[in-house]
Amino acid sequence: MLELLEALLFSTLDAAPALIFAALGGVLSERAGVVNVGVEGQMRAGAFCAAVAALFMPTPLGVVLGMLAGAGLAAIHGYLSIRWRSDQVVSGMAINLVALAGGTFLLESLYSPNGTPAIEQLPRWTLPLIHGVPLLGALSEHSGMTYLALVLPFVFHAVLTHTPIGLRLRAVGEKPHAVATLGLSVQGLRWGAVLGGGLLAGLGGAVLSTAVLDRFEQHTPAGLGFMALAAMVFGRWTPLGAFGAASFFAFGNALRIGLASSAPGILEFIPQGFLLALPYLLTLILLAVQGQRSSAPAALGTPYEQESR
């Protein structure tokens, strides 16, 4: 039993970081008031570039390039939605479609339709003290990304609640005009948040292809970006909430996979489809029960215009 739980925890910790990073990217962008439905596309770009780069250079460098790729797509989103105030949902969806088809095209023309060649995965760290300890041992033998994913939400939370820049970010997502009358740059803050969100989503994608798998596959990230959005909403647009939701969703997923291989009998009673739909169903139920206004940033999705009077 304990072993089973440990295995479950282990696979959760392996799979969760991608979801956590992407959800945090969504939180960062949306807390500043810019809708980010392009997380899926940014993840795909990050995953692809990281895998391709890792063919030529050390994998960690590839991960950095993956992050930059995510930020690159986010920059397009930012240019259209901040600079030109076009519809944030449209440009986000456009990014998704371009990344989906563009990834397939590049993959096919550079390698094979199914995936890139295998790369060297990010190294896994053996934690000396707890390695082999029952249950706690699940914490060992992960890539650095897992540990980063366990720390980053708290850092993000601290920055958002306890630093000047965090205060300004929160303010700009709630009431940009108040920020502008104090002589701060609304555009600058939003640009920062969108690019930061792209870096994080790119990192989430890079983790998929360099730590979870050892290559970029045709369908990566296969909807994980949308699950990250669900985690963001379920976590009420807070870093710790999104972290909790993403971890919970990842655990559910690990449980499903675990059950499928070790106890398929249970899945006769609880079909896999239910477990897969759970993150989205829970998010919908939460929204239905408490409405959206209570937690979403007030200025989310509204382009900022300087002369609005």
State in angstroms the smallest separation of the CB of 196 from other proteins: 17
Among 55, 75, 87, 130, binds other proteins (CB under 8 A): 87
Whether residue 154 contacts residue 26, with contact meaning beta carbons closer than 8 Å, is answered with: no
State in angstroms the smallest separation of the CB of 37 from other proteins: 7
Q: Which of positions 6-45 make contact with other proteins (CB under 8 A)?
A: 35, 37
The residue among 90, 112, 72 whose CA lies nearest residue 34 is: 90
Q: Which of positions 95-154 make contact with other proteins (CB under 8 A)?
A: 95-98, 100-102, 104-106, 108-110, 113
Among 8, 195, 230, 246, binds other proteins (CB under 8 A): 230
State in angstroms the smallest separation of the CB of 98 from other proteins: 4
Choices 58-66, 73-81, 116-124, 149-157 (CB under 8 A): range interacting with other proteins: 73-81
How many residues bind to other proteins according to rule CB under 8 A?
Answer: 70
**Phi and psi (nearest 5°) for 39?**
-55, -45
**How far from each other are the two terminal CA atoms of the chain, in whole angstroms?**
65
Torsion of CA 131, 132, 138, 141, to 10 degrees: 50
List the Cα angle 271/272/277 in 5-degree steps.
105
User: Would you mind telling me the total number of residues written for the chain in this entry?
Assistant: 309
C-alpha pair distances (Å), 103 with each of 16, 56, 217: 23, 19, 10
Work out whether 76 is an interface residue with other proteins (CB under 8 A).
yes
Q: How far is the C-alpha of 73 from the C-alpha of 86, rounded, in Å? A: 16
Among 171, 195, 201, 213, binds other proteins (CB under 8 A): 171
Strand locations in 36-187, DSSP E? Answer: 124-125, 142-143
Among 58, 134, 292, 305, binds other proteins (CB under 8 A): 292
Nearest residue (CB) to other proteins, 162 versus 261: 162
Tokens of 49: 């570039």
Choices 1-9, 12-20, 195-203, 219-227 (CB under 8 A): range interacting with other proteins: 219-227
Cis ω before 221 (30° cut-off from 0): yes
Work out whether 293 is an interface residue with other proteins (CB under 8 A).
yes
Q: Give the footprint of other proteins on this chain (CB under 8 A).
A: 35, 37, 76, 79-80, 84-87, 89-91, 93-98, 100-102, 104-106, 108-110, 113, 162-164, 166-168, 170-171, 174-175, 177-179, 181-184, 223, 226-227, 229-230, 233, 271-274, 276-277, 279-281, 283-284, 287-288, 291-293, 296, 298, 301
